[in-house]
Structure 1
């Protein structure tokens, strides 16, 4: 058996470490969105597959017999495509999908379905911290009249796409204390977040709660109809049961 681990999350790092310790034949795949990704304890390929045909060709050439999808909850196109192709080819597929975040008593969340909806709630003149990454930045083009700060992992190679914003480079993990100090120093009025879930990136929400900041929480996209687990332990059990 040769397992393909679609990586890019903290769960993928943990799964890779356990699979390596147990001696499972597995290959990790990273899309290459981050220039210097953290090392994974498995043989790793970096870069896209070249669409559906390229992915099918890779499955065949690498002798892949099962796929464990540990991509980001918002990597919907990757998960949809992978689940569909695996089903068509009769390959075992399982998605690790961590639980969503839920608001606590002191949270001030506004639930939105897409980035474009944030403008309906964030007032003009507000300083907005976009903790949503660079890829969907164009969807905030209607946030005119606000000051935008978008945190990115890698130093940007191009200028900020809007005159009313800037990039802020920072590589996680971030502590709640550091996030709170950052929000206060920047004068942040609103935080925009994708509902990724998980402990690894929850610190910004803890800091927003402490600061009394309103949060625009973007809902997850629909997930594939496929086998799914919520924890690393359950994912390892699935692999061992193949």
Structure 2
């Protein structure tokens, strides 16, 4: 009798959805979404929404649902869940893979200002511009809330959470974005500095090209460190191959 293998994907990303699509029909796939987006794009296979109750709760879920392979395909900046995943996988003795899109690399003509945190990004902003295009997500605007002298264009999928900068215009939109659209956005709003996280991927990269063409500096928040000892795949195809290899 054929044994149906069970794969858990911590998803919510484009890569996580693509991986679920690649594995669907070959194994039992469950994608776990954090529930922070009101209307997420649902992947193929089974879906659960919400937290696990920390690392111990995640380990318990892995055991109770007889998970055979575990892929952390969360956002590169979802640091806590990645460390919880590493602990839980080791505790439950389930093989774990991290699926991480490569970070962006500056090219000729780019004016990037790397920083280690959102707080550091807020520190350098007043010396770089007055009209800020902020693309760091809706839940982390508190670091910029005290910058009353600056104007912010905040783009996110859902409405941002308070506290926000006093002079803020919100643009609700979801990628992928086009280069022509990003050029027009910077021009229309008079943006003179961009703030972003090093999320990587093609869906939101056109803003970097548009900023380079316009001679606009980009404050880039570096990625947090990843758990040690966890193998990493750069693409969903690599992750799917890893699953096939461990299942023989």
Which of the five TM-score ranges fits, normalised by the shorter chain?
Answer: over 0.9
Q: Distance in 2 between matches of 1:162 and 1:115?
A: 14
Partner residue of 2:30?
27
Partner residue of 1:101?
104
Q: CA deviation at 1:120?
A: 3.4
Q: Distance in 2 between matches of 1:68 and 1:49?
A: 15
Confirm whether residue 207 of structure 1 aligns to residue 210 of structure 2: yes
Q: Distance in 2 between matches of 1:215 and 1:161?
A: 20
Q: How does 1:1-242 map to 2 (within 5 A)?
A: 1-20=5-24, 22-123=25-126, 126-156=130-160, 161-225=164-228, 226-242=230-246
Structure 2 unmatched ranges of 5 or more: none
2:35 aligns to what SS in structure 1?
A: coil
Q: Distance in 2 between matches of 1:98 and 1:130?
A: 21
CA contact (8 A) 1:116 1:142 kept: no
CA contact (8 A) 1:3 1:25 kept: yes
Q: CA deviation at 1:60?
A: 2.4
CA contact (8 A) 1:5 1:70 kept: yes
Q: Distance in 2 between matches of 1:32 and 1:82?
A: 17
Q: CA deviation at 1:61?
A: 2.4
Residues 207 and 30 (structure 1), Cα distance of their counterparts in 2 relative to 1, 3 Å cut: same
1:185 aligns to what SS in structure 2?
A: helix
After superposition, give the CA deviation of every residue in 1:85-130 in whole Å (9 maximum; x if it has no partner).
Answer: 2112221000011211011101111011111112333236601111
CA contact (8 A) 2:141 2:163 kept: no
CA contact (8 A) 1:160 1:167 kept: no
Q: CA deviation at 1:159?
A: 5.9
1:107 aligns to what SS in structure 2?
A: coil
CA contact (8 A) 2:147 2:165 kept: no
Q: CA deviation at 1:76?
A: 0.8
CA contact (8 A) 1:112 1:216 kept: yes
CA contact (8 A) 1:128 1:191 kept: yes
Moved over 6 A (4+): none
Q: Distance in 1 between matches of 2:170 and 2:57?
A: 34
Q: Distance in 2 between matches of 1:117 and 1:123?
A: 11
Q: CA deviation at 1:41?
A: 1.0
Q: What is the Cα-based RMSD across aligned positions, in Å?
A: 1.7
CA contact (8 A) 1:160 1:166 kept: no
